Amino acid sequence: MRALVTGAAGFIGSNLVPELLKLGHSVLVLDDFSNSRRENLPDSPAITIREGDVTVYENVVDAVRQADVVFHMAAQVGNVLSMERPQTDLITNVVGTINLLQACHEENLKQIVLSSSSAIFGETQYIPVDEAHPKDPMSPYGLSKYAAERYCLILGAEYRLRVACLRYFNVYGALQHFNPYGNVLPIFAEKVIADEPFTIYGDGEQTRDFIDVRDIVQANILAMQHEANGVYNIGTGVATTVNQLANIVIDASNKAVEIKYAPPRAGEVRDSVATIAKATKELSFQPSVTIDQGVRNYIAWFNSKH
């Protein structure tokens, strides 16, 4: 089978590609490399790289023409960044997804796995969050991901496509580099390297469902293997506060680090924890990496790159 992975040189895509190769699949990469790293991709004769933007329909349809299944990961990511660049979120995350759906219909490709986000829920009304939880995104990023999901479900039904929308919670792991707009873990790791204090926005008691990228990769593969169709929360079901995460990082780094607190940032929710019962039942998904294991592995990887 040949898998098209959009945004394959990004954090999650570059973890997925080696696993697809191990399973004997060939991989076609479509990436504009604007926010990703070509060196993240393994050197393999089973990989074909096409440099191109998913917002250009001709790029998408040409790639889809050569694929059997699509993992759609190309996106602008980040709640805070999206408050500054809402137009980019709209064009990349929504128009890019519509291009993919139309190309799959035109080329009669029947299976898509979409990378979605828990940001679609906004401030939670109850914990843990199930798939039916009300959707009230608090950022243009969350709104764009929700719009992409809805286009997938509406056009997927119209075009008779199987579309699995995987709603990732807070993903971390190897190949996730520092980005001031990105996940909190690489930011903490960068501060440790620089011997600088951590800044926590809010009181630090906000909860997140941190999931290792290795478990995210398995969720994608299971969605493909089960020919999944519908929406699925992909997390661990375990709540971790930002204060707890900071302490795990400090312990793993074996350094004394000062923690400073600042006012909460716009676009960020207070609590976010998943229930994964549907993914467990329908996809046989079961996360295997604990937060303590995963953070320690990540800090070791991050240090090896510095």
Q: Catalogue the active-site residues.
A: 141
> Distance (Å, rounded) from C-alpha 211 to C-alpha 16?
15
How many residues are present in the chain? Answer: 306
> Distance (Å, rounded) from C-alpha 189 to C-alpha 177?
10
Q: Which residues pair with 48 in a beta bridge?
A: 28
> Distance (Å, rounded) from C-alpha 117 to C-alpha 143?
10
Q: Is 162 helix (H, G, I), strand (E, B) or coil?
A: strand
Which one-letter DSSP state was computed for residue 93? Answer: I
Q: How far is CA 220 from CA 120, 165, 182, in A?
A: 19, 10, 22
Dihedral of CA atoms 103, 107, 110, 113 in degrees, nearest 10, equals: -30
* Alpha-helical segments (H) within 76-212: 79-84, 86-89, 96-107, 140-159, 184-193
Q: Is 198 helix (H, G, I), strand (E, B) or coil?
A: strand
**Gyration radius from the chain CA atoms:** 19
Q: Which residues pair with 86 in a beta bridge?
A: none
> Distance (Å, rounded) from C-alpha 75 to C-alpha 92?
6
Q: Are 286 and 280 in contact (CB under 8 A)?
A: yes
Angle at 37 (CA atoms; ends 290, 61), nearest 5 degrees: 100
